[in-house]
Structure 1
Amino acid sequence: MTKRVTVSLPDDVAAYLDQEPNASAAVADALRARMDRASATVEMLRAVGIEVTNADRDRVRGVLPRLSAEQRAEAQRRRDMLREGTWPADDTAAA
């Protein structure tokens, strides 16, 4: 099921979408990634032995700065490794 939604976007984002063969898919992928970010972070922490509680989340929510584009790309690379089962056996983040 789909629903048509109209949004206003900054010029640079709109220009990016103009280059996409399927703008709806690009937007959906980006929003799903944002929706999954918190659970993916918990998965990564759990993979290295850190258990995050609801109290922990409440304590730091809104305190940490937004991630840079480079940090988001690295986080995505690590999430992909976790999902694919390619996280290094020695728990390093593999360069």
Structure 2
Amino acid sequence: MTKKIAISVPDDVAERLAEEPNVSAFITDSVRQRMAGERTRRALRQVGFRLSEEGLAKAGRTLDEAQARITPDLRAEAAALLSESSRGRLTVRD
């Protein structure tokens, strides 16, 4: 079941949405990702993790920095290792 709603968004968001062939699907996916993140944070809090906006922002920056260091060569090597391991042919390297 679906429900039609009208929303107001800032100009920059409207411009981004204008690029999407299916705005409803894009927004639905985005909201569902947000909901999944909220469920994850709630579950982590329930088992004792104390999450702060500052800590989450720092973790996000650390992840961005790590991803920026992934070179095309490193990505290709990782893909090759994954392929080898999925076929049971992985050899241990020094």
The structure where helix makes up a greater share of residues is 2
TM-score by length of 2: 0.49
Tell me the TM-score normalised to structure 1 length: 0.48
Question: Bigger radius of gyration, 1 or 2?
Answer: 2
Which structure is richer in relative contact order (CA contacts within 8 A, separation 6 or more)? 1
